[in-house]
Amino acid sequence: MKLRDLPTPCLVLDRQILLRNLATMAEAVARHGVPLRPHMKTAKSVEVARLALAGQPGGITVSTLAEAEYFASHGLTDILYAVGITPARLDQVARLNAAGAQIIVLTDDPAMAARIGAMENAPRTLIEVDSGEGRGGVGPEDAALIQIATHLGGAFAGVMTHAGHSYAGRSIAEMRAIAEGERAAITRAAGRLREAGHDVPIVSMGSSPTARHAAHLDGITEIRAGVYMFGDLFQAEIGTHGLADIAVTVLTSVIGRRPGRLLVDAGGLALSKDRSTEAAPRDYGFGLVLDAAGRPSHGDAIMRRAYQEHGVVEFDPAHPIDLPVGGLLRIAPNHTCMTVAAHDRYYVVEGGEEVVAMWTRVNGW
Amino acid sequence: MKLRDLPTPCLVLDRQILLRNLATMAEAVARHGVPLRPHMKTAKSVEVARLALAGQPGGITVSTLAEAEYFASHGLTDILYAVGITPARLDQVARLNAAGAQIIVLTDDPAMAARIGAMENAPRTLIEVDSGEGRGGVGPEDAALIQIATHLGGAFAGVMTHAGHSYAGRSIAEMRAIAEGERAAITRAAGRLREAGHDVPIVSMGSSPTARHAAHLDGITEIRAGVYMFGDLFQAEIGTHGLADIAVTVLTSVIGRRPGRLLVDAGGLALSKDRSTEAAPRDYGFGLVLDAAGRPSHGDAIMRRAYQEHGVVEFDPAHPIDLPVGGLLRIAPNHTCMTVAAHDRYYVVEGGEEVVAMWTRVNGW
């Protein structure tokens, strides 16, 4: 099967770029002697997980229990569910763990911690620590930190943080500084807990930029990252990787031709309405236009507008994209996690136009 | 089953509001004696389609061939596929039509028209006309209009337009003016084609704002609209309907508590990254926060930030939302078409918290 045989819009995953991205991250974390617990929230595919786990202990991170159930059913049972746990989900985790999974959960809430501490067969639980993102987590100096560990009792297994604010970094130096802040916050939390008499076996941190660029990881027992596998325009703009390292693009067909623009069949659903590059050095609209082989042959052409099923590609009239209706393009996305979520499979290529495999994804909740 | 038994995040569809929205639109178009061909791209559900077709001839509009196949399999065979046709999709349509569907396609491209005209058993084809949106379609005065009809030959069945620019309207008067521009453009195109000797049985126009607010529809044979069924914050802001007419909301659980904000489990995937209300009179961030019963009990609380699986709800500290982890809220979305697309089902309520039905959707392509 060739790309031209695929139904558009669809995801094209270049296995060569994926393997290169995985090797780059594996090398970056190996320098520190810290294992990687890849975050599967982006790829949501067991084939990708197996490649990302090469040379690693085998633990993964997920963002939904649908992912946890899917990966456990494929034999990947060491799972960190990295979203604050609720009472209903605690019951679900208990059922999945009774069936063979080893899901670790997290909380930053004293009442939830007390509930977990009172359970029979409670899942191992990490305390979420805020290292500066201002999303979830208690501060490393917060009195609640010790209180939550005490409530958790035997279920307490360590601490975790996510420096999501690293995405606001715009240089490797900034990301290195944010990585050091992330490391300092989580090791400080671990230190306070140890002083209070708790064992802290897991000290987990990570985001793709900080995992890639941390100067050192002293005191960290594992690092998490996800978007690095596929990359996207936003990550390229902030310097996490290069523009040639975007492994997943959306294959799309031309559905209309106008002076200076083309209408294509990838719109807001196929690409998402994510506009993250609006705040990046270069604004790519809804995506960068590549040729059918994934090469940047069309200069500065971008998808300027995205309707539900229509995308408007604008190009420089001096360098027109001369394709008939039915002609193919590929669009590199702003934010790959959002884009891939609309699709149920990847069509895998090895640099060329031959489709060598089809890998499924798990979506929903 | 009650709302509290549902896995979050999920879609809650209030059947009472849906029926009211359907009645309002049916009444608006009945004034003009023009049948409604509901656009199912928003709801993508046969249960909703059957309700929307009450009192109508039975034709529907779709935005993907996945929808066409799904609705045809449920006996709704009179289908307008309202996205410019490509050669590959023409083959798919021919197969579906041979199996019993009666899919009408559209084009604005002379080469595609010639291809369709040369087919055996070509599908009935409309020429897409641009009435001011600047997306797809030939202008009503364009010479290509007549040329395309000639190429289509016996497949030519009429003209269609979509005044998507009505979404830029900010008052009923503006929408009325845009509706009249849409009507004038498409009837002018039909008139030119008739002067050139073509029969023009179908003269199709529509968008929710123009269908709702058109002053008259002289010369129009059918009207299309879709988002009116569910409504959303953007449509409420531009005056298509009221804030109390939003039929679909996202049920979400609290996963974290902080001063002045809550963390919930509906993020960018559950709600979409659509920020259309940024350009509306009121900017709702990623959505308006309602209580678990769907009432606006939380004042101006909105979802300010959306990560992949985390939403940050901000509220006035003087009116805190006092819910524990696991507590429920509902979020009214900016743009319902984008939000519902991440979900595979609707949990249906009748104003209360009792779930009376579960309706599936068709997603993907």
Query: pLDDT digit string (tens) for A280-298?
Result: 889 999 999 999 999 999 9
B107 to chain A: which residues are within 8 Å by CB?
325
Q: Say if domain A17-229 classifies as CATH 3.40.630.30.
A: no
Is B73 touching A (CB cutoff 8 A)?
Answer: no
Instruction: Specify the pairing of strand B202-205 against strand B156-160.
Output: parallel
Report residue A318's pLDDT band, with 50, 70 and 90 as the boundaries.
Answer: confident
pLDDT mean over A118-139: 96
Q: State the pLDDT at residue A71.
A: 98
CATH of domain B3-11+240-360: 2.40.37.20
Instruction: Give the three-class secondary structure for A23.
Output: helix
Is there a contact between B338 and A84 if contact means CB atoms under 8 Å apart?
no
Find, among B265, B229, B235, B230, the residue nearest to B248 by Cα.
B230
CA distances from A114 to A104, A109, A151, A298, B65 (A): 16, 9, 5, 58, 51
| Beta-strand relationship, B202-205 and B355-360 | unpaired
Per-residue model confidence (pLDDT) at position A352: 87
Q: Are strands A355-360 and A345-349 parallel, antiparallel or unpaired?
A: antiparallel
Compute mean pLDDT per 10 residues along chain B, 365 residues long, and list them: 97 98 96 97 98 97 98 98 98 98 98 97 98 95 98 98 88 92 97 98 95 95 97 92 96 94 97 93 96 94 97 92 97 98 97 95 97
Q: Is A136 exposed, middle or buried (0-12, 13-18, 19+ CB in 10 A)?
A: buried
Residue spans per domain, chain B: 3-11+240-360, 16-230
Contact B214, B179 (CB under 8 A): yes
Does the pLDDT of residue A279 top 90, yes or no?
no
Cβ contact B255–A307 (<8 Å) = no
Give this prediction's pTM: 0.97
Rounded to a whole number of angstroms, the CA Rg of chain A reads: 22
Report, as an integer, the average pLDDT of A305-320.
94
pLDDT of residue B126: 98
Of all residues in chain A, the one with the smallest CA distance to B266 is A365
ipTM higher than the 0.90 cut = yes
A to B CB pairs, distance under 8 Å: 138
**Domain A3-11+241-360 in CATH: superfamily?**
D-serine dehydratase-like domain (2.40.37.20)
Q: How confident is the model at residue A169 (pLDDT cuts 50, 70, 90)?
A: confident
- Taking the CA of residue A257 and the nearest CA in chain B, the distance in Å comes to 8
- The set of residues, in sequence order, having a beta carbon less than 8 Å from that of B127 and lying 6+ positions away, is B106, B107, B108, B113, B138, B145, B148, B149, B152, B156, B158, B159, B160, B189, B193
CB contact under 8 A, B135 and A307: yes
Q: A54-63, A73-82, A165-174, B245-254: which has the minimum mean pLDDT?
A: A165-174
Rounded to whole angstroms, the Cα distance separating A286 from A331 reads: 9
Please tell me the predicted confidence (pLDDT) of residue A330: 98
Indicate which of A263, A286, A334, A346 best probes the interface with B, i.e. most B CBs within 10 Å of its own CB.
A263
User: What is the DSSP track for A106-146?
Assistant: EE--HHHHHHHHTSTTPPPEEEEB-SSS-SSSB-TT-THHH
Residue A319 has pLDDT above 90, yes or no: no
Identity of the residue in B312, B326, B342 whose CB atom sits nearest the CB atom of A86: B326
Mean pLDDT of A81-98: 98
Arch. (CATH architecture) of B16-230: Alpha-Beta Barrel (3.20)
Burial label for A99, CB within 10 Å (0-12, 13-18, 19+), is: exposed
DSSP A225-290: --GGGT--HHHHHHTSS-GGG--EEEEEEEEEEETTEEEES--HHHH-S--GGGGSSS--BT-EEE
CB B265 within 8 A of CB B309: yes
Q: Which of B69, B128, B255, B343 to probe the A interface (max A CBs under 10 A)?
A: B255
A364 touches chain B (CB under 8 A): yes
Task: With a cut of 90, say whether residue A317 has pLDDT above it.
Answer: no
Percent of chain A past pLDDT 90, that is, above it, reads 92
Nearest to A84 among B83, B256, B335 (CB): B256
> Residues 2..61 of A with a Cβ closer than 8 Å to B: which?
7-10, 41
**pLDDT for the residue B217:** 96
Q: Could you count the other beta carbons within 10 Å of the beta carbon of residue A322?
A: 9
Pairing of strands B345-349, B355-360: antiparallel
A287: phi > 0 → left, psi -120 to 50 → alpha, else beta; which?
left
Across the interface, which of B64, B273, B307 has its CB nearest the CB of A273? B273
pLDDT in tens, A251-276: 999 999 988 899 999 999 999 999 99
Supply the pLDDT for residue B317.
84
| CA nearest neighbour of B337 among A232, A310, A6, A42 | A310
pLDDT (0 to 100) of residue B113: 98
CB contact under 8 A, A337 and B365: no
